Amino acid sequence: MQVSNSTGIVTPQCVHIDNPLQLKSGTLLDSYDLVYETYGNLNATKSNAILICHALSGNHHIAGVYADNLKQVGWWDNMVGPDKPIDTNKFFVIGVNNLGGCHGSTGPTSIDIKTGKPYGANFPIVTVEDWVTSQVQLANYLGIDQFAAIAGGSLGGMQALQWTLDYPERVRHALVIAAASKLTAQNIAFNDVARQAIITDKDFHGGDYYAQDTLPRQGLRLARMLGHITYLSDDSMAAKFGRDLRSGKISFGYGVEFEIESYLRYQGDKFADQFDANSYLLMTKALDYFDPASAYGNNLSAAFHAVKSNFLVLSFTSDWRFSPERSRDIVKALLDNAINVSYAEITSSHGHDSFLMANKHYHQLMRAYMDNIEI
Amino acid sequence: MQVSNSTGIVTPQCVHIDNPLQLKSGTLLDSYDLVYETYGNLNATKSNAILICHALSGNHHIAGVYADNLKQVGWWDNMVGPDKPIDTNKFFVIGVNNLGGCHGSTGPTSIDIKTGKPYGANFPIVTVEDWVTSQVQLANYLGIDQFAAIAGGSLGGMQALQWTLDYPERVRHALVIAAASKLTAQNIAFNDVARQAIITDKDFHGGDYYAQDTLPRQGLRLARMLGHITYLSDDSMAAKFGRDLRSGKISFGYGVEFEIESYLRYQGDKFADQFDANSYLLMTKALDYFDPASAYGNNLSAAFHAVKSNFLVLSFTSDWRFSPERSRDIVKALLDNAINVSYAEITSSHGHDSFLMANKHYHQLMRAYMDNIEI
């Protein structure tokens, strides 16, 4: 079998954590599974480990393909692999599916052993801090005392940042990409429209749709359509779709007329078949709640007082979901604490999605930073 | 009875137009009603008439209050009235509910005399051009050969612009405010998410929900929540709501937590009780279709070749729905045709909604322009 992907075939693994997890919400989770993948080899001193945290709809499958599905390429395959910016010839890279997700780690679709049924609406809301706490358990299991780096884009960047606050000794470098130190009212507003679309779907059944053998498909579809608008820039949508008509002419009806409608509905439909609505809800809540400065009188510099890691912060010019201004806030607060931070605002027309793309300048900067991490 | 409103009590009127209307979609509408209001007095030479066109969710009730509801103030009451920028001591101002609307003019909720039932999904999609054609009938009925001015914000501005293209001899001045000559892919995308929310609501019943004695309430609510995000600016939402919590603390649930959620859900609920979903659908389509340059090889300057009216074009700095750049496109195309155009970009933090607000600079410019219209 020939595999064209440079990382090749990968296999997810699973660890069962029996150490109870005290969540920020007050709920105690007795035990849980974390599904993860690794790429490259852990060196003898365990000094070359990189943790990559995923964003809203991501998962542990970062690079490579699966033996039973050679087309299922990891979401950051252009960044992670042999000779790629995050070079698996040098680093041992770990991707983990977040707690509460729907790709193998314990979440709303998992069976609650206490009831023998899926958690559904009973699965607790988790926070970025909770994710970090659970990821520490994975690190302990793998015998990694300190990560060479923790990296992530968007919500993934928030996790990398949180690691440096909660476990400053365990992260040498944090790569915080297209992220923000907190959501704006507008960010929260978009999330709430998405949540309301799901929750008011007749097939949501208060979150216990599994028992009804149905899915809040329409709500999740709308949430994803809306999300996509915020991931792209006005300019990239104009360049890619403009006002192009699917059939070349207006039909005076409510079917697909403009190409942009076709694209969004397709993305919505695809996502609704693949992602769990309860997971989507709790991931958006984790985003809304993230605000490390809130415990420090909204003073981000004060919140960073214990940070010891070095930072690479990157933003993209056309990103209006988490604009460069939000990254600059992080950089300024790090500088207030005399933290070693590299920052760049990368010119890209692709909006928030830029962090997933193979932009040359972006990859050069990532490579330069990663090449210079000592292991 | 004391009425504090300066325009005072107004009474809507209705005209039945028996002249068949050939719609752009190909459908022929045999006859229709238009509901309208007037403020001030038409002078003897009928040279002081102003038509004000409404936006997506507006109607004919522009100024004043109703005898049976003194709190129901017209949507542009701060602009129209005695001694106001559009001064009804000088002008005879007309507001008309658009065809296809849900405030009295013939639309989806009206009874189709052919079936004895509401039109519902059978009501044809109408365009900005169709609205202008129907408004001409109202002008004829009132004996107005030429308007001193036609004004509107947002979709209303598009109608004012269309008038100058289709009836250049009948409009001396066009006031095009917070508008655009066509929607972008992003604009269409937001509209399509709103439409899909309505159409996939289980209570939509293919648009014939009246017969089911129900309403696609959740879909219309979502559409309005989403709309509101695009009417406000990121900055105005941050200033007004920020990350303020309704109860002062996070509750780890899906009820209202942030103030912005409370605001949006309230706006959505209120709108869902007041507006007809089929009307909302067709109004968004009229927005999407509007593109006068499309018949001229996407050359807006060419599309304006027959324009004779004078123009006032206004935009607002924080409007990201129809940004100042879109107004500048209109101004440039007018200048290419040596049309007399005044333009200003008004500093406002209130986003697209600025056109409804009593911004001092805005009102000064409107007053200056209107004062200098000869009647």
Tens digit of each residue's pLDDT (9 = 90 or more) over B114-159: 999 999 999 999 999 999 999 999 999 999 999 999 999 999 999 9
Q: Does B4 touch chain A (CB under 8 A)?
A: no
Has B319 been annotated as catalytic?
Answer: yes
User: What predicted TM-score, i.e. pTM, was given to this entire model?
Assistant: 0.96
Please list every residue in chain B whose beta carbon sits closer than 8 Å to the beta carbon of residue A243: 182-185, 188, 291, 294
Query: What is the distance between the alpha carbons of residues A140 and A15, in angstroms, rounded to a whole number?
Result: 11
Query: What is the distance between the alpha carbons of residues B103 and B109, in angstroms, rounded to a whole number?
Result: 9
Three-state DSSP state, B22? strand
Residues A234, B265: C-beta atoms closer than 8 Å: no
Residue B3 is predicted with a pLDDT of 78
Distance from CA of B252 to the nearest CA of A (A): 6
Q: Does A66 touch chain B (CB under 8 A)?
A: no
Q: What is the pLDDT of residues A231-284, one digit of tens each?
A: 999 999 999 999 999 998 999 999 999 999 999 999 999 999 999 999 999 999
pLDDT band at B105 (very low <50, low <70, confident <90, very high): very high
Residue B5 is predicted with a pLDDT of 86
Please list every residue in chain A whose beta carbon sits closer than 8 Å to the beta carbon of residue B264: 189, 192-193
Contacts of range A84-87, beta carbons closer than 8 Å, 24 or more positions apart = A84/A6, A85/A363, A85/A366, A85/A367, A85/A370, A86/A50, A86/A52, A86/A151, A86/A366, A86/A370, A87/A367, A87/A370, A87/A371
DSSP for A274-332, please give it. HS-HHHHHHHHHHHHH--GGGGGTT-HHHHTTT--SEEEEEEETT-SSS-HHHHHHHHH
Q: Does B241 touch chain A (CB under 8 A)?
A: yes
Residues B243, A193: C-beta atoms closer than 8 Å: no
Residue A80 is predicted with a pLDDT of 98
Q: Does B257 touch chain A (CB under 8 A)?
A: yes
Please list every residue in chain B whose beta carbon sits closer than 8 Å to the beta carbon of residue A281: 254
Please list every residue in chain B whose beta carbon sits closer than 8 Å to the beta carbon of residue A260: 185, 188-189, 192
Distance from CA of A97 to the nearest CA of B (A): 21
Residues B238, A186: C-beta atoms closer than 8 Å: yes
Q: What is the residue whose two structure tokens read 């931070």?
A: A341
Q: Does A183 touch chain B (CB under 8 A)?
A: yes
Q: What is the pLDDT of residues B187-197, one digit of tens each?
A: 999 999 999 99
Residue A5 has pLDDT above 90, yes or no: no
Distance from CA of B265 to the nearest CA of A (A): 9
- Tell which of B28, B186, B257 to mutate to test the A interface (max A CBs under 10 Å): B186
Cα-based angle A234, B271, B274 (whole degrees, multiple of 5): 140
Residues A237, B125: C-beta atoms closer than 8 Å: no
Query: What is the distance between the alpha carbons of residues B309 and B349, in angstroms, rounded to a whole number?
Result: 31
The mean pLDDT of B316-331, rounded to a whole number, is 97
Q: Does A218 touch chain B (CB under 8 A)?
A: yes
Nearest to A283 by CA among A218, A220, A205: A220
Residue A11: CB atoms within 10 A of its CB come to 9
Q: What is the residue whose two structure tokens read 């209202």?
A: B256
**CA-nearest residue of chain A to B23?**
A252
Residue B1 has pLDDT above 80, yes or no: no
Query: What is the distance between the alpha carbons of residues B166 and B197, in angstroms, rounded to a whole number?
Result: 34
Nearest to A296 by CA among A287, A307, A286: A307
Q: Does B229 touch chain A (CB under 8 A)?
A: yes
* CB-count exposure of residue A226 (10 Å: 0-12, 13-18, 19+): buried
Q: Does A205 touch chain B (CB under 8 A)?
A: no
Please list every residue in chain B whose beta carbon sits closer than 8 Å to the beta carbon of residue A294: 243
Distance from CA of A135 to the nearest CA of B (A): 21
Nearest to B264 among A192, A238, A254 (CB): A192
Query: What is the distance between the alpha carbons of residues B16 and B32, in angstroms, rounded to a whole number?
Result: 6
Please list every residue in chain A whose beta carbon sits closer than 8 Å to the beta carbon of residue B241: 185
Residue B191 is predicted with a pLDDT of 98
- Tell which of A254, A256, A258 to mutate to test the B interface (max B CBs under 10 Å): A254
Termini Cα distance of chain B: 35
Residue A3 has pLDDT above 90, yes or no: no
Both structure tokens of B320: 């990201």
The mean pLDDT of B244-265, rounded to a whole number, is 95
Q: Which of A47, A57, A110, A154 is catalytic?
A: A154
Q: Which of A77, A130, A201, A319 is catalytic?
A: A319
Both structure tokens of A201: 């779907």
Query: What is the distance between the alpha carbons of residues A138 and B68, in angstroms, rounded to a whole number?
Result: 68
Amino acid identity, residue A118? P
**CA-nearest residue of chain A to B251?**
A25
Residues A242, B185: C-beta atoms closer than 8 Å: yes
Has A319 been annotated as catalytic?
Answer: yes
Residues B254, A184: C-beta atoms closer than 8 Å: no
Residue A161: CB atoms within 10 A of its CB come to 32
Query: What is the distance between the alpha carbons of residues A172 and A149, in angstroms, rounded to a whole number?
Result: 6
Among B residues 301-320, those touching chain A with beta carbons less than 8 Å apart: none
Q: Does A288 touch chain B (CB under 8 A)?
A: yes
Residue B92 is predicted with a pLDDT of 98
Residues A222, B25: C-beta atoms closer than 8 Å: no
Distance from CA of A62 to the nearest CA of B (A): 29
Residue A1 has pLDDT above 90, yes or no: no
Both structure tokens of A252: 């005076």
Three-state DSSP state, B43? coil
Can you give the C-alpha Rg of chain A in angstroms?
20
Residue B149 is predicted with a pLDDT of 98
Q: What is the pLDDT of residues A47-81, one digit of tens each?
A: 999 999 999 999 999 999 999 999 999 999 999 99
Please list every residue in chain A whose beta carbon sits closer than 8 Å to the beta carbon of residue B229: 186, 189-190, 193
Both structure tokens of A148: 């060479």
Distance from CA of B200 to the nearest CA of A (A): 7
Instruction: Using a pLDDT cut of 90, give the percent of chain A over it.
Output: 98
Instruction: Using a pLDDT cut of 90, give the percent of chain B over it.
Output: 98
Both structure tokens of A223: 């949430």
For A182, B161, B235, the CA distances from B165, given in Å and listed in that order, are: 48, 7, 36
Q: Crossing angle of helices A259-274/B185-199, nearest 10°?
A: 50
Residue A18 is predicted with a pLDDT of 96
Per-position b or e across B92-129, b if 16+ CB within 10 A of its CB: bbbbbbbbbbbbbbbbbbbeeeeeeebbbbebbbbbbb
Nearest to B238 among A184, A232, A268 (CB): A184
Please list every residue in chain A whose beta carbon sits closer than 8 Å to the beta carbon of residue B265: 192, 196
Residues B221, A183: C-beta atoms closer than 8 Å: no
User: How many Cβ contacts (< 8 angstroms) between chains A and B?
Assistant: 141
Q: How is residue A97 annotated by DSSP?
A: P
Please list every residue in chain B whose beta carbon sits closer than 8 Å to the beta carbon of residue A185: 234, 237-238, 240-243, 258, 260
Nearest to A252 among B125, B193, B242 (CB): B125
The mean pLDDT of A321-329, rounded to a whole number, is 98
The average confidence (pLDDT) of chain B is 97
Residue B343 has pLDDT above 70, yes or no: yes
